[in-house]
Amino acid sequence: MPGQVRIWTFDWVPKGPRGYVRDLRLRWALEEAAIEYSVASVPFGDRSSDHLARQPFAQVPFLDDGDVRVFESGACLLHLAEKSEVLMPRDPQGKADTHQWLFAALNSVEMVTVPWWYISLSRPAENPLAGWMKQRFERLDEVLKRREWLAGSRFTVADIAMSDVLRIPGDRGELDGFGAMKAYVARGCSRPAFQKAISDQVAYFDAADAARIQAQC
């Protein structure tokens, strides 16, 4: 029986982003905490007013938890972290550390890596954001040389956010000079909860392909 948590993603995405769509962060957290959940979708093609009512930028993910509705992957992760101590310590410093590193992942690292990635898709001779991203990575690598996880000496939602943010540059070889970060992402991605989350996401979009083909027959 699915629990009361429902995460929302697109009904289909092109092959390229599969395994990277941010509902993965929510799936990963829910798997870590062994919280039951279901997955529902909004159309990728037709971003209707119903979708905009849930996510004002017509993006995913968003979630329902009973009557509570949340959008933004970071806000969803914090909401889930309040449900399970597995995702965030309860002592004030451990909680503050989790919050600060979650925001650092999204607001200090992803805010550089995503524009860097978009620019790199057009294969410029030089990416103007490469130096800025390298500076962030140098600093984060120093931190990760001294600890296994970012907050509270244990795995938290901050690590879900940070490792997921780092996967895109990592998969493009950008962490090759940053051994501590590379090992950190590998550590996160080897967790059974991540493995289950990513294989479920890929299967979800594969099933969407099959449904589309069926509908065309």
Ligand X SMILES: N[C@@H](CCC(=O)N[C@@H](CS)C(=O)NCC(=O)O)C(=O)O
Applying CB under 6 A, which residues contact ligand X?
21-22, 58-61, 72-74
List 62's β-bridge partners, or say none.
8, 71
The nearer residue to ligand X, 73 or 113, going by C-beta atoms, is 73
Minimal distance in Å, beta carbon 154 to ligand X? 23
The nearer residue to ligand X, 76 or 178, going by C-beta atoms, is 76
Residue pair 164/17 in contact (Cβ under 8 Å)? The answer is no
Residue 43: count of CB within 10 angstroms of its CB: 12
Minimal distance in Å, beta carbon 11 to ligand X? 12
List 10's β-bridge partners, or say none.
42
The nearer residue to ligand X, 21 or 81, going by C-beta atoms, is 21
**What is the radius of gyration, based on Cα positions, of the chain?**
18
d(CA 150, CA 86): 15
Supply 126's token pair: 């030089």
The nearer residue to ligand X, 178 or 197, going by C-beta atoms, is 197
Minimal distance in Å, beta carbon 201 to ligand X? 11
Half-sphere exposure of 39 (CA within 13 A, CB side): 24
The nearer residue to ligand X, 73 or 127, going by C-beta atoms, is 73
Burial of 109 (C-beta count, 10 Å sphere; 0-12/13-18/19+)? buried
Minimal distance in Å, beta carbon 40 to ligand X? 15
Which residue's C-beta sits nearest to ligand X?
59
d(CA 2, CA 111): 34
Minimal distance in Å, beta carbon 10 to ligand X? 7
